[in-house]
Amino acid sequence: MQRRSEAELARLMQAAISGDERAYGDFLQQAACLVRDLARRKIVKGGIDPEDIVQETLLAIHLKRHTWRQDAPITPWLYAIANYKLIDAFRRRGRRVEIEIGEIAETFAEPTSETVSDREIGRALAMLAPGQRSVVAAISVDGRSIGDTAKWLGLSETAVRVAFHRGLMAIAGRCGRSRNGYQ
């Protein structure tokens, strides 16, 4: 994919904020590439999947897009979010390694291996309350539209929109906790 300039990225996000979904998708694709490069460069020891960082950053970008000043450059904003998520992941990994060593010493049990294929976001989704989970899963996993989901669950479109948005917020709040499972 061709890399866009700072000005183009800012334009895409401005369009996105005023409701242009295509521009938003485009922007997120571009952001994903930038964050993926950054994460691959910074994660040298393993234990963290760069793609998890990409997804957590995209979710944070989405939920915090009102914190971007539309007259400010967007790449510093984007990288600051990505770095925050990276540091958070490093910190959690440090804690998890400590906990695992403690467990082995105490119980001599095999450490449970993590399924690498299942993404952090997917695990956080599985931990949502049932109502929220069915709305988020219908839209994100089954790819249904808001209208379809509303009909399928017998809810109003507004209720689905709100539940979906709150579900995404809950996923963002749970991402950290589901990674080590001990908090």
Partner 1 sequence: MDTSEFIRTLTADTLRPAMPLSTVWWASVGLAIALASAIFFTMLGARSDIVTAAENPRFLVRFLVTITLTASAFGCARALSRPGENWRKAIPYLAVAPALIAVAIVVELFTLPSDTWSATMVGTNGIACITYISLIGIGPLAIFLRTLHHSAPTRPALAGAVAGVLGGAIAATFYAAQCTDDSPLFFATWYTIAITGLAVLGAVGARVARW
Binding mask 33-72 for partner 1 (x = CB under 8 A): ------------------x--xx--xxx-xxxxxxxx--x
3-state secondary structure of 127: coil
Sign of the C-alpha dihedral computed for residues 163, 169, 171 and 174 taken in this order: negative
Q: Which two tokens stand for residue 103?
A: 């467990």
Q: Which two tokens stand for residue 26?
A: 């485009």
> What residue spans of 1-145 are helical by DSSP H?
6-17, 21-42, 50-63, 75-107, 120-126, 130-140
Give yes or no for residue 177 binding partner 1 (CB under 8 A). Answer: no
Minimum gap (Å) between residue 109 Cβ and partner 1 = 30
Which range in 1-9, 41-49, 80-88, 105-113 contacts partner 1 by CB under 8 A? 80-88
Site for partner 1 in 122-141 (CB under 8 A): 122, 125, 136, 139-141
Which range in 4-12, 89-97, 106-114, 157-165 contacts partner 1 by CB under 8 A? 157-165
Half-sphere exposure of 106 toward its Cβ, with a 13 Å CA cutoff? 6
3-state secondary structure of 18: coil
Residues in contact with partner 1 by CB under 8 A are 17, 19, 21, 24-25, 28-29, 32, 51, 54-55, 58-60, 62-69, 72-73, 76-81, 83-84, 119, 121-122, 125, 136, 139-141, 143, 145-146, 161-162, 164-165, 168, 172
